[in-house]
Chain A
């Protein structure tokens, strides 16, 4: 009887998450584009063959992975620092915590537009400053070698508070007596960080890492508004490529193929991270 209460939620989740995956898998074996008059016709794996030879898909995969790795690593490092800072007791902590949460609460598109202005050449503050100290124009948003870093900055700024909060929750589960005992034995605070805090924080690190990795892998709004994928396609992500295929090229079969493979790659990446964490704790056990 009580189980009946689960049904609406289960149905909704199946509709929103399950159905799309089934639908994409089916679509990925069909041609469904402007050339077929938007009707799905079986094409015997032609989409997948095209994907294998699609330079742009692989370039975007690389770029998405690069973006996700760099921004998630930076985020976690910063988040650890922020969580440690916020875990201590000092006056005004509540206000500072609220302010540091702000970037996370704002719509991504709002600040994506803001970053576009901040990195603008020649009127944005960064270029103005560069000019003031006598540098050449940096052309941040038109240089394929650095534009993606600007998108990383935008992402790190927005999502670090979220990771910091999860880690903060983890810090609060660590009993204080552990530290006290450690210091009584003459331990150094820095050693405590590596021998107590980080090991005990590990499940939370894993959680925020997986969560952030998945979100960064699906990065879309920030890129679409901030750079549109340019210059020279150097910031295009898989999600943006899938979006373009569907909404601009009207090629739904191929768009679905891109999305399914993006999803599979992500699952692979998550498994890898999980394995590494498992391995790491084994090693630590072994050292002990």
Chain B
């Protein structure tokens, strides 16, 4: 039994990591070593791929920065709107809440790629193109259903006596939210924030259509477009270096916050 489990754990780790490790290996290989991996080479290892990606114009860290800006902007906006909404839903009548939950679930399931054309038109009408912070609006809208559902279940879990007591103390709605309820749903807020951040970090079709200035590209679009980083040979080494650099921040994020991510998703699943 034990041995069998170890085997399965190894398989799971291999399956999850092998493609990433291959990218890592590729990113350190010289072009010649990639084309003839089995032959002898004077020089097999190199940092050139990284140099190339980091010194390109605009340099790679710029995309990382853009993604961070978009991620923080959309996460803040989402929480700002979702927390009051979830609180309010936890207070309305059962029937209203049930309908609202159904709609939210439907929206959360929606394959949002299909929205890109209409959102592009919105961007044109309100002149929101080529603006990193403006991307927060569609991102907040798209992650709103999931965020509200997660936070709603957190509010539901709070004992109602708590808020009652605070009301008797003379705290108004804003004070109750600010000083009593929001601190209590801290863990759920953190999980929601991370999930929204991950979503906006990884989003592709909308960033692809809303941003056309090279210095404003977010990471996923920049990666997809990096096909042009070298001119006449197939730049797989540079691709790989870019994927490694693009994966690193998320690697850290997942390792640090895995507990929140897991509890966020599982909470949502149990209550949703």
Contact of B19 among A1, A108, A157 (CB under 8 A): A157
Main SS of the interface on chain A? helix
- Of the stretches A8-16, A42-50, A135-143, A277-285, the one at the interface is A8-16
- Most-contacted residue by chain B among A6, A24, A219 (CB, 10 A): A6
Please give, as numbers and ranges, the residues of chain B lying within 8 Å of A6 by CB-CB distance.
84-85, 88-89, 100
CB–CB B141/A108 < 8 A: no
The CA of A221 and the CA of B97, in the complex, are separated in Å by 34
The minimal Cβ–Cβ distance linking A145 to chain B, given in whole angstroms, is 23
Q: Does B117 lie within 8 Å of A98, measured CB to CB?
A: no
Indicate if A259 sits at the interface (CB-CB under 8 A). Answer: yes
The answer to whether B250 and A105 have CB atoms under 8 Å apart is yes
Complex contacts, A152 vs chain B, CB 8 Å:
none
Contacts of A214 in B (CB 8 A): 109-111
Name the distance in Å between A182's Cβ and chain B's nearest Cβ.
18
Q: Is A17 an interface residue (CB 8 A)?
A: yes
Task: Kindly state the separation between the CA atoms of A247 and B236 in the bound complex, as whole angstroms.
Answer: 27
Chain B: which residue is nearest A153 at the CB level?
Answer: B19
CB of A76 within 8 Å of the partner chain: no
Interface majority SS (helix, strand, loop, mixed), chain B: helix
A23 at the interface (CB under 8 A from B): yes
B37 to A128, Cβ gap below 8 A? yes
A146 interface residue (CB < 8 Å to B): no
Chain B's closest residue to A90 (CB) is: B5
Residues of B with C-beta under 8 A to A101: 254, 258, 261-262
Residues of A within 8 A of B38 (CB): 128
Question: Does A37 sit at the interface, judged by CB under 8 A?
Answer: no
Whether B113 and A247, one on each chain, are in contact in the complex, defined by CB atoms closer than 8 angstroms, is no
B residues 9-67 in Cβ contact with A at 8 Å: 9, 12-13, 15-17, 19-20, 22-23, 26, 34-35, 37-38
Chain B residues with CB under 8 A of A82: 12
A109 within 8 A of B: yes
Query: Given contacts A20-B118, A98-B258, is CB(A125)–CB(B22) below 8 Å?
Result: yes
Question: B227: which A residues are within 8 A, CB to CB?
Answer: 113
Known pairs A3-B92, A6-B85, A99-B16; A107 contacts B145 (CB<8 A): no
Which residues in window 109-167 of B have CB below 8 A to A? 109-122, 137-138, 140-142, 144-145, 148
CB within 8 Å for A259 and B117 given contacts A105-B198, A105-B250, A113-B224: yes
Does B73 sit within 8 A of A, measured CB to CB?
no
A52 within 8 A of B: no
Contact A12-B140, Cβ < 8 Å, known A2-B92, A85-B12, A114-B19: yes
- Kindly provide the distance from the CB of B268 to the nearest chain A CB, expressed in whole angstroms: 8
- Segment 140-196 of B: residues with Cβ below 8 Å from A: 140-142, 144-145, 148, 173
Contact of A217 among B87, B111, B246, B265 (CB under 8 A): B111
Q: A6-B89, A165-B262 are in contact. Are A120 and B236 (CB under 8 A)?
A: yes
Q: Please determine whether B107 and A220 come into contact, CB atoms closer than 8 angstroms.
A: no
With an 8 A cutoff between CB atoms, is A123 at the interface?
yes
Q: Contacts A6-B85, A107-B204 known; A239 to B113 CB distance under 8 Å?
A: yes
- Residues of B232-272 contacting chain A, CB below 8 A: 236, 239-240, 242-243, 246-247, 250-251, 253-255, 258-259, 261-262, 265-267, 269-270, 272
Q: Once the chains bind, are A97 and B113 in contact (CB under 8 Å)? A: no
CA distance A282 to B240 in the complex (A): 51
Q: Which of B23, B37, B103, B221 is A109 in contact with, Cβ under 8 Å?
A: B221
Given A166-B266, A168-B266: A117 and B239 within 8 A (CB)? yes
A106 to B201, CA, bound (A): 9
Taken together as a complex, chains A and B put the C-alpha atoms of A220 and B148 apart, in Å, by 26
What is the CA–CA distance of A102 and B258 in the complex, to the nearest angstrom? 10
Residue of B nearest to A14 (CB): B141
Compute how far the CA of A106 lies from the CA of B17 in the bound complex, rounded to whole angstroms: 12
Q: How far is the CA of A67 from the CA of B84 in the complex (A)?
A: 39
- Complex CA–CA separation, A107 to B205 (angstroms): 12
19 more contacts with CB within 8 A, not counting A246-B117, A259-B114, are: A10-B85, A13-B107, A13-B144, A19-B118, A82-B12, A85-B12, A98-B258, A99-B16, A114-B239, A166-B266, A169-B265, A169-B267, A204-B269, A214-B111, A218-B112, A220-B205, A221-B113, A221-B220, A239-B111
8 contacts between A and B (CB under 8 A): A8-B81, A15-B141, A16-B142, A96-B13, A100-B16, A105-B198, A111-B243, A224-B224
Interface residues of B (CB under 8 A from A): 5, 8-9, 12-13, 15-17, 19-20, 22-23, 26, 34-35, 37-38, 81-82, 84-85, 87-89, 91-92, 100, 103-104, 107-122, 137-138, 140-142, 144-145, 148, 173, 198, 201-202, 204-205, 209, 219-221, 223-224, 226-227, 236, 239-240, 242-243, 246-247, 250-251, 253-255, 258-259, 261-262, 265-267, 269-270, 272
